[in-house]
Amino acid sequence: MKVKVAKTAGFCFGVKRAVDKVYELIASGDRAIYTLGPIIHNEEVVSDLERRGVRVITEEELETLSGGTVVIRSHGVGRHVYEKLKVCGLDYVDVTCPFVLKIHRIVERESAAGRHIVIIGDKDHPEVRGICGWCQGSYTVLKDLEEAENFTPHPQKPLSVVSQTTFNYNKFKDLVEILGKKSYDNNVLNMLNVLNTICNATEERQREAKDIAGEVDTMLVVGGRHSSNTQKLFEICKKECGNTYFIQTPVDLDSEMFQCSSCVGITAGASTPKNIIEEVQEHVRIKF
Ligand code: SF4
C-alpha cells in the first residue's frame, strides 16, 4: 500500500505553543493548573493532561477558584473573561494564538469606529464567541450562503468582515461575494471592508489535503470529533475523494476502508498530535 502523508498534518504553531505551555507549567509543578475549556480538541491529549492533574473548567467555575493558574487556550476569549479573572484575583497565562489576537484587535477597532462587524464562522465555536466578545457595537455571525443571503445590512452603517481562522477559504470568498452584492445594491460598496483573517496554516493544510485527496483511492482525515478545522478538512477531502474517512485514532481503522485501494492519503487537523498521525500511518502500512 502506498501512503501519502500531508506535510502540513498535525499541530499548527498556535496549538503547539498552547500545549507546550501547559506541559511547561506542569513541569514547574508548584501550583494547581486549570484550562478554560479543553486546551485542544483532542481527547487523548486532554486525558493525558488530566492524568497529570490539569483540570478543565468553565468560565462560570472561575468564581469558585481560590488560587492556581488559569490557562486561556489558543482560541482566545472575550474581553469580559479578562475582567472576570481580574475581579476574582486569579493568575492566568494567556496562550491565545497571535493570529486570533489580531482579529480581536481588528473587531475592537472597527466596531469602535462605528462599523457593523460581520464574522464569518460558526457562532458556537469558542474562537468566534471570543471574537464576538471584543465587538464594541453591533455584529452578526454568518456561517453559510443561506445566512448570508438572509442578512440585511444596515442601509447606512458600513460593514467590516472578518473570518474565523479555520474557515474554508472558498466558502469565505462566496459569502463575501454575496455581502459585496448587497452593499452594491444598497449603494454602500465603498463601505465594505473585507479582512481575510483565515490563518495561513489552515489555508495551506486545506490546499494540500485537497491535492492529496484528488490523487488517492482512500483518504484518511485524523482528528478530534469536536475539532472544527478537522471537520472542514473532511468536507474538502470528501469532495475530491468519495472514499474519505474521519478517524480519531488507529482504532477506528477498518479493512473496508481500503478495499480496492492501492494508494492512501493521510491528513490531520491542527489539534492532532504527531504520534497519532505516525501510528495511523504505521497501521495502514503494516495491516492493510
Ligand atoms: S490554526 Fe492558525 S490561528 Fe488557529 S491556532 Fe493554529 S496557527 Fe493559530
Residue whose CA lies nearest to ligand 1 atom number 8: 14
Q: Which of 96, 113, 136 is the last residue of a domain?
A: 96
Q: CATH number, domain at 20? A: 3.40.50.11270
Q: Give the residue numbers spanning the domain of 170.
A: 99-194
The average confidence (pLDDT) of the chain is 93
Q: Which of 33, 62, 96 is the last residue of a domain?
A: 96
- pLDDT tens across 161-174, in order? 999 998 988 899 99
Is residue 29's pLDDT more than 90?
Answer: no
Q: CATH number, domain at 222? A: 3.40.1010.20
Does 109 lie in the same domain as 64? no
pLDDT of residue 182: 85
Q: What number does the ligand 1 atom closest to the CA of 100 have?
A: 3
Q: What number does the ligand 1 atom closest to the CA of 200 have?
A: 2
pLDDT, average across residues 22-30: 92
d(CA 192, CA 154): 12
Does 19 lie in the same domain as 92? yes
How many angstroms separate the alpha carbon of residue 203 from the centre of ligand 1?
Answer: 10
- pLDDT tens across 232-274, in order? 999 999 999 999 999 999 999 999 999 989 999 999 999 899 9
Does 89 lie in the same domain as 164? no
Does 45 lie in the same domain as 132? no
Of the candidates 134, 102, 272, 268, the residue with the CA atom closest to the CA atom of residue 198:
102
pLDDT, average across residues 213-219: 97
Q: Residue 42: pLDDT band by 50, 70, 90 thresholds?
A: confident
Q: Which three cell numbers stand for residue 85?
A: 479573572
Contact between residue 229 and residue 252 where contact means Cβ atoms under 8 Å apart: no
Does 162 lie in the same domain as 246? no
Binding-site residues, ligand 1, Cβ < 6 A: 12-15, 74, 97, 99-100, 165-166, 199, 201-202, 270
Continuous H helices in the chain: 13-28, 43-51, 79-87, 98-112, 126-132, 145-150, 169-185, 200-213, 228-240, 274-287
The count of domains in the chain is 3
pLDDT of residue 188: 57
Does 258 lie in the same domain as 204? yes
Does 214 lie in the same domain as 162? no
Is residue 227's pLDDT more than 60?
Answer: yes
Does 266 lie in the same domain as 217? yes
Q: Residue 217: pLDDT band by 50, 70, 90 thresholds?
A: very high
Does 106 lie in the same domain as 91? no
Q: Which of 96, 123, 144 is the last residue of a domain?
A: 96
Does 176 lie in the same domain as 125? yes
Q: Is 251 exposed, middle or buried (0-12, 13-18, 19+ CB in 10 A)?
A: exposed
pLDDT, average across residues 113-127: 95
Does 185 lie in the same domain as 110? yes
Report the amino acid identity of residue 223.
G
Q: Which of 8, 19, 100 to mutate to test the pocket of ligand 1 (most atoms within 8 A of CB)?
A: 100
Prediction pTM value: 0.85
Q: What number does the ligand 1 atom closest to the CA of 166 have?
A: 1
Does 167 lie in the same domain as 109? yes
